[in-house]
Amino acid sequence: MGFVAGVNDMKKSVRKVLSIAGSDSGGGAGIQADLKTFSALGVYGTTVVTAVTAQNTREVAAIHNIPVSIIEAQLHAVLSDIGADAIKIGMLSNAETIETVGRVLKQYEVKSVVLDPVMVSATGAPLLEETAVDALKKHLIPAASVLTPNKAEAEILVQKRMTTRDEAIQAAKEIRGLGCESVLLKTAFEENARVFDLYFDGQTFREISHPRLGIVGHGAGCTLSSAIAAFLAAGESKESAVEKSVAFVQKALKSAYRVGSTHYVLGHFQAEPKD
């Protein structure tokens, strides 16, 4: 009886995070990166696979979108039984998938949603159909606790280029105006060999700087958004979750290594927090 009680207590206390994203056959990005991040940060990870990619450290060779009916079935299967303390959303290729995910999440009244508006892979392959951007703005961005666009994605969302700190600040304001609770604009601008990420929650701007490491980390954006979701699930505030996640990714990049011929993969478990 004591053992059973212990198991039940564990079930109540474990924090659960759902990744809704594509599969990377190379293991560096997508749900594979998300699950590594969840494990490193001590939360239980579940997945809804939205696409299967034929991918390595050089390129995305092919993409197969999962039928929307199967995506919806996965969502209901996970959320109706296991639930989620937070959700990370990554690759959603088309408007129909975006609309379906938005509708189901609204049904389950999920509180903490981290949306990584994945549009282009690190190798330059398009991952979001052009016609899906409006659907993203309508159905998912307003549901996001934290939105994590990189510079290129931010420029698509606001439909203008940004090259200066002031332009990045303005872009963050405009993106926040799309309805998300907060935005983390990744690599918003650079000064003196340092990269600045820009966080804005509608009231306060926070600049988070780190040195440019000179490598392309395959799956860095996926890892960052899934880390934010993990920290939110653990009870951190949005600003604290963002700050801790940026630090986690920096550690993972410093311990990155090569498994293929081109981009590095992150050292998720070398970056595991010790406190």
39, 8 contact by CB (below 8 A)? no
- The answer on pLDDT for 5 being more than 60 is no
pLDDT tens digit sequence for 135-157: 999 999 999 999 999 999 999 99
pLDDT tens for 92-134 read 989 999 999 999 999 999 889 999 998 876 666 667 777 789 9
Count of alpha carbons within 13 angstroms of residue 110, beta-carbon side: 34
* pLDDT confidence bin for 12, thresholds 50/70/90: low
pLDDT tens across 165-189, in order?
999 999 999 999 999 999 999 988 8
pLDDT digits (tens, 9 = 90+) for 225-251: 999 999 999 999 999 999 999 999 999
Per-residue confidence (pLDDT) for residue 69, from 0 to 100: 98
Helix or strand holding residue 197 (H, E): strand 194-200
Residue, of 72 and 270, whose pLDDT is higher: 72
For the residues 43-57, what does the mean pLDDT come to?
A: 96
Q: Which domains does the chain have, with CATH numbers?
A: 15-265 (3.40.1190.20)
Contacts of residue 215, Cβ cutoff 8 Å, sequence gap at least 6: 253, 256, 263, 264
Residue 225's alpha-carbon distances to 36, 77, 194, in angstroms, are 13, 23, 21
Query: What percentage of residues in the chain have a pLDDT greater than 90?
Result: 70
* Inter-CA distances, 166 with 147, 177, 272, Å: 19, 17, 34
What rounded mean pLDDT belongs to the chain?
90
Segment 53-74 shows an average pLDDT of 94
Q: Which of 135, 154, 141, 75 is nearest to 113 (CA)?
A: 141
Average pLDDT for residues 186-208, to the nearest whole number? 91
Helix (H/G/I), strand (E/B), else coil: 200? strand
